[in-house]
A = this chain, B = another copy of it.
Amino acid sequence: MLRTARSEVCGTDVHLWHGRLSGVPYPIIPGHVSAGTLESIRGPLAALDGSRLREGDRAVFFDVHRTCGRCRACTVHHTPTRCAARRVYGITDSASEGLFGGWSQYIYLEPGVGIARLPDAVHFDDYIGGGCGLLTAVHIIERAGFQAGESVLVQGVGAVGLSAIALAKLSGAAEIFAIGDPEPRLALARDMGAALTFSLSASSAAERLAAVRDRTYGEGVDVVIEAAGSPRAIEEGVQLVRDGGRYVVAGHYTDAGPSSLNAHHDINRKHLEIRGCWGSQVHHFAEAIRILEQHAATLPWRAIGQRTYPLTALNEALADAEAMRITKALVDPWRGEG
């Protein structure tokens, strides 16, 4: 049993709030990425690194608590994020089944959940500032096959995009561009490592293309990462990547409508590679912890989580997140308690 210290409000939660995801067994306890202190442990419990966990340890856990391990997605295709039996804290489990969500003072960690001790150097707010966006970004960078010295452009400066910028920076990117809004997020993108940022609303696609080509030998960037969720972003992204480059599409978590692509110009002749990226796996979680341990002191993940709300103010948190008034809302389920 984990005593929750922090949970988060992410884009998924806004979608859940509006009922946009199919198959969710409402009512649920939202909050899929959370951190806290191990309150009581039944039997010996091992962390992912093999060490013994003890009551009182600061701990975090991987939110995907079950994949079947037997279906063709799990065993043959090595795409466990596409397992039909996949279950995720805060999303797929009904509140009637137990404490399977982070917007709660306690969370039940069932057997088999991947747990990690939070390193001393990492504050709860660092971890939740990164949150699920950081895990997704670890997957994106892996999926991009990113190598030091490559140039990268990130579409979208929400939690996923900001972490992708940070990871590209850590991985030795030659130059990082970012597109998004509003300005405070673009400022955070620059703090994360972006050399050049574009306001989506205050610049035209033609201006962005010209500026990017001007700094990339006239070619476009090696890797474009889509973390925007907009059909128009897809149409622009294939223009910004160089011939023979890679385009990772990670931001379309829900259906935002169709994009129009010209297969001749945008894919075939460009010799382009487009890679969809869905969810994350437990090794991305382990990797995220290691990255935070090394870099939380110098990269501002904590700044992504701009404001912390008590359980009584969650509708306000959701509304603030939706209106993009804040980059990310954190949840402290003990705040306001006597």
Contact = CB atoms under 8 A, between A and B. Distances in A.
Nearest to A287: B149
A112 interface: yes
Interface in A261-311: 261-265, 267-278, 281-283, 286-287, 290-291, 294
A335 interface: no
A219 interface: yes
Contacts of A252: 263-264, 267-269
B262 A257 contact: yes
Given A147-B142, A172-B171, A77 B273 contact: no
Given A77-B244, A250-B268, A291 B72 contact: no
Nearest to A216: B72
Contacts of A171: 147-148, 171-172
A314 interface: no
Contact of A217 (B46, B49, B146): B49
A199 interface: no
Interface of A: 46, 48-50, 69-73, 75-79, 81-82, 112, 114, 138, 141-142, 146-149, 167, 170-172, 174, 217-219, 226, 231, 234, 242-244, 249-265, 267-278, 281-283, 286-287, 290-291, 294
